[in-house]
């Protein structure tokens, strides 16, 4: 069934109001009519099955038929910090990361970042990334839209590391530390907020890896096959959620 | 270092010959000159570090400096059977699946496959898919190019299931069977050739899932978040290889 994230103020005790793009999608793309049902959530603590009772001037009114439990969010919160990749690869990372179960994304600029970072264009890009996250969250039946942080410098990113229970930087030259052992150890120690840091196409410099290590980040390899930058985050995220029992392990 | 898959006949005892697209890439894109090095592999049992000794008429001759061990292939062989998705999504599945470590792909047509299957265009598409697999394998430092099977019917696909130690069909309505338990059980039983079957955008019909089950395929869910068709294969593959210790577990 079609799902929409709506603002908290649109979520009443007995009714919800669906507006703007969502109302357009519901009435024009899905051709919904009075009496049809969909699911609405405020992405915080309310989710409900609703039935359309009025469609007027691009606004849909629907009554709440049944409150629904919010059970599609992973118990472990994984954030992805991705050095701005070329082209529309960050969109792929956000879309796939949202489907798989990331709770937030931190785009950042590092030494070998090739794309020109343009502060003027940032608002528009963050808006677009947010839209992709919203649509992917709706499609994946998530209860929450992942957060998209503003674009950070590598130094700013490292200053955020202390907010996480564990942080890992993907480094293809790492040969000592094993990713799986670290994931298992962290989950065993009840780590609930994790960060995966992925570099740009050209990878991180030795200096960056050293700075990250000094900030408490563990350098890890994701195996003997070299993953493209946009693939590394999806793979790391999948491994962590699989280990925590989120990829088809139980349905309690 | 740049890597190229070359035909066995181009791989001599002391020398290799690099031709066609690879020679063009090496000399024009990478601007390699005499004395420069690269890695060549025949994708079967030979891989070597080579040094360019001659470049003439688009053909590169290089002498073998050192034979290299072929250690980047996973011990567990995972095949992905993907119902033809819309647009260029199969290209994404092949590219990412190759990076992650799939050994082969079987495209197939099922009841809800939307794209028109055109036998006339098949040769061209299979050629394009093969090129994507080759480039992704080179980039990921794999020793072997994954196989791309010809497009099958769902019935033909099910007739291949007996060649695998275990086969799983992704079914979002499955609530009983847990994917992780099945993966663990199979690997414990030394399963070495595994198949993941993924449906088209609209999913499988109940009849198809029943037919698959009758053919020995286990129906599985990949978790509470609904994955897009092109995401399911990557995630399932990652989970299996992670469980088998291939995603950053050991470097022996």
* pLDDT given at position A18: 96
Chain A positions touching B251 (Cβ under 8 A) are: 175, 178, 221, 224
Choose the closest CB to B101 out of A71, A175, A225.
A225
B205 reaches A (C-beta below 8 A): no
Would the pLDDT of A76 be above 80? Answer: yes
Give the residue ranges of chain B where pLDDT is below 50.
251-252
Q: Dmax of chain B from CA atoms?
A: 63
**Per-residue pLDDT tens over the stretch B53-85:** 999 988 999 999 999 998 889 989 999 999 999
Chain B positions touching A224 (Cβ under 8 A) are: 71-72, 141, 246, 251
Choose the closest CB to B180 out of A101, A227, A242.
A242
Chain B positions touching A139 (Cβ under 8 A) are: 226, 228
Contact B52, B62 (CB under 8 A): yes
Are B239 and A242 inside 8 Å of each other by CB? yes
3-class SS of residue B193: strand
* Residues in Cβ contact with A105 at an 8 Å cutoff, skipping those fewer than 6 apart: A79, A80, A81, A82, A93, A94, A97, A129, A133, A146, A147, A148, A149
Choose the closest CB to B72 out of A224, A231, A248.
A224
Mutate to test the interface with B, among A76, A136, A168, A247 (most CBs of B within 10 A): A247
Mean pLDDT value of segment A8-22: 95
* pLDDT given at position B91: 97
Strand partners, B30: none
* pLDDT given at position A252: 40
B127 reaches A (C-beta below 8 A): no
Spatial distance between the Cα atoms of A45 and B84, rounded to a whole number of angstroms? 38
A165 reaches B (C-beta below 8 A): no
Which candidate, B166, B165, B132, places its Cα nearest to that of B148? B132
Would the pLDDT of A170 be above 50? Answer: yes
Mean pLDDT value of segment A53-67: 95
A69 reaches B (C-beta below 8 A): no
Mean pLDDT value of segment A30-53: 94
Spatial distance between the Cα atoms of B238 and B192, rounded to a whole number of angstroms? 15
Would the pLDDT of A248 be above 90? Answer: no
Round the average pLDDT of chain A to a whole number and report it: 93
Which candidate, B154, B188, B161, B222, places its Cα nearest to that of B76? B188
* pLDDT given at position A172: 86
CB atoms within 10 A of CB B127: 10
Are A180 and B228 inside 8 Å of each other by CB? no
| Phi, psi angles (nearest 5°) of residue B179 | -60, -45
Complex prediction ipTM: 0.89
A184 reaches B (C-beta below 8 A): no
The confidence band for A250, taking pLDDT boundaries of 50, 70 and 90, is low
Burial of A149 (0-12, 13-18, 19+ CB in 10 A): middle
Chain A positions touching B222 (Cβ under 8 A) are: 247-248
B11 reaches A (C-beta below 8 A): no
Work out the angle at residue A139's Cα, subtended by the Cα atoms of residues B229 and A91, and round it to the nearest 5 degrees: 75
Chain B positions touching A228 (Cβ under 8 A) are: 99, 139-140
Choose the closest CB to A178 out of B222, B234, B250.
B250
Chain A positions touching B231 (Cβ under 8 A) are: 96, 99-100
A173 reaches B (C-beta below 8 A): no
Are A239 and B247 inside 8 Å of each other by CB? yes
Of A204 and B175, the structure prediction assigns the larger pLDDT to A204
Spatial distance between the Cα atoms of A81 and B48, rounded to a whole number of angstroms? 36
CA distances for A214 relative to A155, A210, A211, B8, angstroms = 12, 6, 5, 47
Contact B83, B246 (CB under 8 A): no
pTM comes to 0.90
The confidence band for A80, taking pLDDT boundaries of 50, 70 and 90, is very high
Spatial distance between the Cα atoms of B138 and B98, rounded to a whole number of angstroms? 10
- Residue whose pair of structure tokens reads 């900030």 in the numeric block: A215
Q: What is the 3-state secondary structure (H, E, C) of chain A?
A: CCEEECCHHHECCCEEEECHHHHHHHHHHCCCCCCCEEEEECCCCCEEEEEEEEEECCEEEEEEEEECCCCCCCCCEEEEEEECCCCCHHHHHHHHHHHHCCCEEEEEECCCCCCCCCHHHHHHHHHHHHHHHHHHHHHCCCCCCCEECCCEEHHHHHHHHHHCCEEEEECCCCCCCEHHHHHHHHHHCCCCEEEEEECCCCCCCHHHHHHHHHCCCEEEECCCCCCCHHHHHHHHHHHHHHHCCCCCCCCC
- With CA atoms as reference, the chain B residue closest to A245 would be B180
User: Token pair for residue B224?
Assistant: 């509470």
* Residues in Cβ contact with B56 at an 8 Å cutoff, skipping those fewer than 6 apart: none
Choose the closest CB to B224 out of A71, A231, A235.
A71
- With CA atoms as reference, the chain B residue closest to A249 would be B178
Mutate to test the interface with A, among B91, B223, B252 (most CBs of A within 10 A): B223
**Per-residue pLDDT tens over the stretch A111-167:** 999 887 777 888 888 899 999 999 999 999 999 999 999 999 999 999 999 999 999
* pLDDT given at position B251: 46
Are B242 and A239 inside 8 Å of each other by CB? yes
- With CA atoms as reference, the chain B residue closest to A247 would be B223
Nearest CA distance, A56 vs chain B (angstrom):
31
Chain A positions touching B225 (Cβ under 8 A) are: 72, 99-101, 140-142
* pLDDT given at position A238: 97
């Amino acid at each position: 069934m079609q799902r929409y994230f709506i603002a908290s103020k649109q979520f009443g005790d007995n009714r919800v109001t669906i507006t703007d793009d969502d109302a357009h999608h519901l009435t024009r793309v899905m051709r919904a009519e009075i009496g049809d049902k969909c699911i609405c959530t405020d992405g915080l603590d309310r989710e409900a099955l609703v039935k359309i009772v009025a469609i007027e001037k691009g606004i849909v009114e629907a009554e709440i038929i049944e409150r629904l439990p919010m059970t599609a969010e992973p118990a472990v919160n994984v954030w992805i910090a991705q050095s701005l990749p070329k082209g529309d690869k960050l969109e792929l990372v956000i879309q796939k990361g949202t489907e798989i179960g990331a709770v937030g994304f931190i785009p950042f600029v590092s030494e070998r970042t090739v794309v020109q970072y343009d502060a003027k264009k940032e608002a528009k890009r963050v808006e677009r990334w947010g839209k992709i996250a919203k649509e992917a969250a709706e499609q994946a039946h998530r209860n929450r839209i992942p957060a998209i942080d503003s674009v950070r410098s590598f130094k700013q990113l490292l200053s955020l590391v202390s907010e996480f229970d564990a942080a890992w930087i993907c480094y293809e030259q790492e040969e000592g530390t094993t990713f799986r052992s670290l994931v298992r150890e962290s989950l065993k120690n009840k780590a609930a907020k994790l960060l995966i840091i992925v570099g740009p196409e050209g990878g991180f410099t030795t200096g960056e890896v050293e700075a990250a290590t000094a900030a408490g980040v563990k350098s890890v390899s994701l195996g003997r096959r070299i993953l493209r930058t946009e693939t590394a985050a999806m793979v790391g995220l999948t491994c962590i959620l699989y280990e925590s029992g989120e990829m088809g392990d139980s349905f309690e």
